[in-house]
A and B are shown apart, each in its own frame.
Chain A
Amino acid sequence: MSEAPADRPLEFEERVLLAKRTDAEINQAVLQPMLRTSPRFWVLVGLLGAIVAWGLYAWSYLVTWGIGTTGKNRPVYWTLFITTFVFWVGISHAGTMISAVLRLLKADWRRPITRGAEAMTAFALMMAGLYPLIHLGRVWKFYWMIPYPNNRFMWPNFQSPLMWDLVAIFTYLIGSTLYLYLALIPDMAMARDHTDGWRYRLYRVLGLGWRGTQGEWHKLHRALGIFSVVIIPVFLSVHSIVSWDFAVTIQPRWHSTIFAPYFVVGAIYSGLAALATILVIVRSGMRLQEFLRAEHFNALGRLVMIAGMAWTYFWFAGFLVEWYGNEPVTRELIQQEVAGSLAPLFYLQMAANLLPIALLALRRVRTTPGLLLASTLLVNVGMYTERLLIVIGSLQRNYLPFNWGTYRPTWVELSIVAMTFAGFALLYTLFSRIVPYVPVWEMKEGRLRYSLRRIGRLLVPTAAEIE
């Protein structure tokens, strides 16, 4: 990708370039990568599928023999499963951030990346939703948490943050899946009109008989407008509630009032970074260079940087108070982090979270896919480490020193964590071959904004004010 001089907006010319393409050309540019699958693609699918299969074996091993096959002990009752759960819920936040917030703000650069972001939300939530099941001692009784009239004559305990979790995550999963699907309907109809065979039958069902009439567009825009507003409080509540799983207890380092906004900001940071990572990979994998351009990575990189700054502020605000308060157990935990057994993780967290902020301040890093990939991957290494420190690190210490403990992960836990990473990648890969990755109708709509107008003998690039 060529570097643009600061004063001359290269993006604008690129937009005009896209404006010259016909609708048919855009359709083909999006549909072609879906229809052509290289052997490399099937190798990737096979590899990811193998990891998922291994993880499922590990899970069945866990269910057969008991939670003892993980590295959990007393007092470290929650470990990698809950850590990774928090991580995936965090990742899921960028989808809403990108589509809903940026749609409401009418940020134009969101158009080609909304679908990728929404799909990321849905799949990350599916992966997150597995962990509350996996970590149960008796997973076969999980339905006892579901509120329905039953022969035990019992409702679940709505005082428990785990119940809030259940409600919030299901609401968010349903909401974000509907949101993803709503914006998908016109493109399903487009794909229906350009394919045959099983794809045609699939798209005909998913397209819901969309014809593209004025009334249909009106309803779609109304629905998307409502969803964009309604889903924002849901998305804020989900990670707040995840943070309250920890913050409502009196476990030192968990019991903190700043946890809810701190977790939300951290979720946005890691989620946006993950989106940038995925976009860079999909862009080269599906040859979408024409749609995912420097301007998009530039804007996304900036957002990641700002989210990173906000995370740093919240982290500092929390850490300072805990350190200054100097409670004995908190002091011990901070000692462990800064100079004790948790120090490697602590410094990894700080380096991997702070370095990308500095890197992403450079335009060159934001617009060079390789550098952007490296710095956003680093962000998620840092954010995963942060969750490790919060969940596992804190639990190793508590009020009575006799009850202190240490934790070592086992192959069962590591395999199941790997399973969800591979499962996410697998779902995403298959999704990108079945569903148009770039929202074609949004692209075409956005394209209308930019045109070359002839004023006298001068060709002037113009932008119109449309929604």
Chain B
Amino acid sequence: MAKVAKPSAESAATGTSRRWAMVVDLDRCTGCQACVVACHAENNIPIVGEEQAGYGRWMHWIIIQRYWEGEYPNVKARFMPVMCQQCTQAPCEPVCPVFATYHSPEGLNAQIYNRCIGTRYCGNACPYKVRTFNWFRPEFPEPLPEQLNPDVSVRSRGIIEKCTFCVQRIRRAELDAAATGLTLADGEIQPACVQTCPPSALFFGDLNDPDSRVSQLARSHRSFRLLEDLGTGPAVIYLKGGETNV
């Protein structure tokens, strides 16, 4: 795999010059879960309850994976936020029989809820297991309906959903920029998780802009992509932990 996901070929074919990407600095992540809460609020993600979550049915679009390192008593907790990796060669895309998952011109791996019939094939094909399924009719007990985001559809049961890089925020910023004739500045678009992260472990931007923050961070010697050898070409770039704080 190329070190950087293949943006040039993609943008040449689609006429767009953007490749949205996220950088996760594992050294900064404290595992506080603020991003998870922000994501739930922004994207109308239902809460499934303790029992269902214990059975592996939680629906977080971003999950803080926790790994223990070392033997007791010298153990360290390692946190790794994992969201949809927005793969360049996404294994979930070709397997869907009804085109509910597809590749957007900006390289985003989009999920079209209304097309999904719930074969869950994409969930099996995804090596990161970031696709979540609506096992029951989603419930938003009072007063949660008051804070549902009008920019995001509330999904029905029986369909797959996943992280979109907050595509509604990307679209709004792009439309505003087009209307005002201004160009989008780097860092102007922030997904909910990036905006919320207290220690600023998350960065979002255009990988095709060599001067953007994510491009600079992606060139770091600490950068790696999750399960890179599978050849999925993720757009999420991790910065290896264990160097600056332990």
- Across the interface, A137 reaches (CB within 8 A) one of B67, B95, B97, B134, namely B134
- Across the interface, A66 reaches (CB within 8 A) one of B56, B91, B135, namely B135
Q: Are A68 and B135 in contact (CB-based, < 8 A)?
A: yes
Bound Cα distance A68, B119 (Å): 14
- Across the interface, B159 reaches (CB within 8 A) one of A77, A137, A154, namely A137
* Residue among A66, A76, A245 with the highest chain B CB neighbour number at 10 A: A66
Assess whether B115 is interfacial by the CB under 8 Å rule.
Answer: yes
Q: Are A136 and B117 in contact (CB-based, < 8 A)?
A: yes
Smallest CB–CB gap between A233 and chain B, Å? 23
Assess whether A403 is interfacial by the CB under 8 Å rule.
Answer: yes
- Closest A-chain residue to B232, C-beta based? A250
Assess whether A74 is interfacial by the CB under 8 Å rule.
Answer: yes
Assess whether A145 is interfacial by the CB under 8 Å rule.
Answer: yes
Q: Are B97 and A157 in contact (CB-based, < 8 A)?
A: yes
Which label, helix, strand, loop or mixed, suits the secondary structure of the B interface?
A: loop
Q: What 0/1 pattern do residues 154 to 184 of A give for CB contact below 8 A with B?
A: 1011011111001000000000000000000
Q: Are A74 and B56 in contact (CB-based, < 8 A)?
A: yes
A contact residues around B103 at 8 Å (CB): none
Q: Are B136 and A74 in contact (CB-based, < 8 A)?
A: no
- Across the interface, A136 reaches (CB within 8 A) one of B58, B96, B119, namely B119
Q: Are A137 and B129 in contact (CB-based, < 8 A)?
A: no
Interface residues of B (CB under 8 A from A): 52, 55-58, 63, 65-67, 80, 82, 91, 94-99, 115-121, 123-125, 127-129, 131-137, 156-160, 226-227, 230
Bound Cα distance A210, B208 (Å): 74
- Closest B-chain residue to A165, C-beta based? B97
Q: Are B157 and A142 in contact (CB-based, < 8 A)?
A: no
- Given A73-B57, A402-B67: A160 and B116 within 8 A (CB)? no
A–B Cβ pairs within 8 angstroms, 18 of them: A67-B158, A73-B55, A77-B133, A132-B119, A137-B117, A137-B119, A137-B157, A137-B159, A142-B117, A160-B95, A161-B121, A162-B121, A251-B125, A399-B128, A399-B227, A400-B82, A400-B127, A400-B128
B contact residues around A250 at 8 Å (CB): 91, 125, 127, 230
If A68-B136, A141-B117, A157-B96 are given as contacts, then 9 extra A-B residue pairs at C-beta distance below 8 Å, sorted by A number, are A68-B57, A74-B133, A136-B119, A144-B98, A161-B121, A162-B119, A162-B121, A398-B129, A402-B82
A contact residues around B156 at 8 Å (CB): 138
- Closest A-chain residue to B135, C-beta based? A68
Assess whether A315 is interfacial by the CB under 8 Å rule.
Answer: no
- Across the interface, A160 reaches (CB within 8 A) one of B52, B94, B129, namely B94
Q: Are B56 and A77 in contact (CB-based, < 8 A)?
A: no
Q: Are A66 and B157 in contact (CB-based, < 8 A)?
A: yes
Which label, helix, strand, loop or mixed, suits the secondary structure of the A interface?
A: loop
A contact residues around B227 at 8 Å (CB): 399-400
Bound Cα distance A135, B121 (Å): 11
Q: Are B94 and A156 in contact (CB-based, < 8 A)?
A: no
State the total of A-B contacts with C-beta under 8 angstroms. Answer: 142
Assess whether A248 is interfacial by the CB under 8 Å rule.
Answer: yes
A contact residues around B55 at 8 Å (CB): 73
Q: Are A137 and B120 in contact (CB-based, < 8 A)?
A: yes
Q: Are B120 and A78 in contact (CB-based, < 8 A)?
A: yes
Bound Cα distance A402, B82 (Å): 10
- Closest A-chain residue to B227, C-beta based? A399
B contact residues around A161 at 8 Å (CB): 95, 121
Bound Cα distance A33, B56 (Å): 53
Bound Cα distance A135, B158 (Å): 10
- Given A68-B135, A403-B129: A163 and B158 within 8 A (CB)? no
Bound Cα distance A166, B117 (Å): 15
- Across the interface, B127 reaches (CB within 8 A) one of A142, A157, A398, A405, namely A398
Q: Are B123 and A77 in contact (CB-based, < 8 A)?
A: yes
- Closest A-chain residue to B130, C-beta based? A403
Q: Are A159 and B57 in contact (CB-based, < 8 A)?
A: no
- Closest A-chain residue to B56, C-beta based? A73
Smallest CB–CB gap between B55 and chain A, Å? 5
Q: Are A162 and B95 in contact (CB-based, < 8 A)?
A: yes
- Given A68-B136, A137-B157, A400-B82: A75 and B129 within 8 A (CB)? yes
Bound Cα distance A400, B65 (Å): 9
Bound Cα distance A145, B98 (Å): 6
Bound Cα distance A66, B48 (Å): 14
Smallest CB–CB gap between A327 and chain B, Å? 10
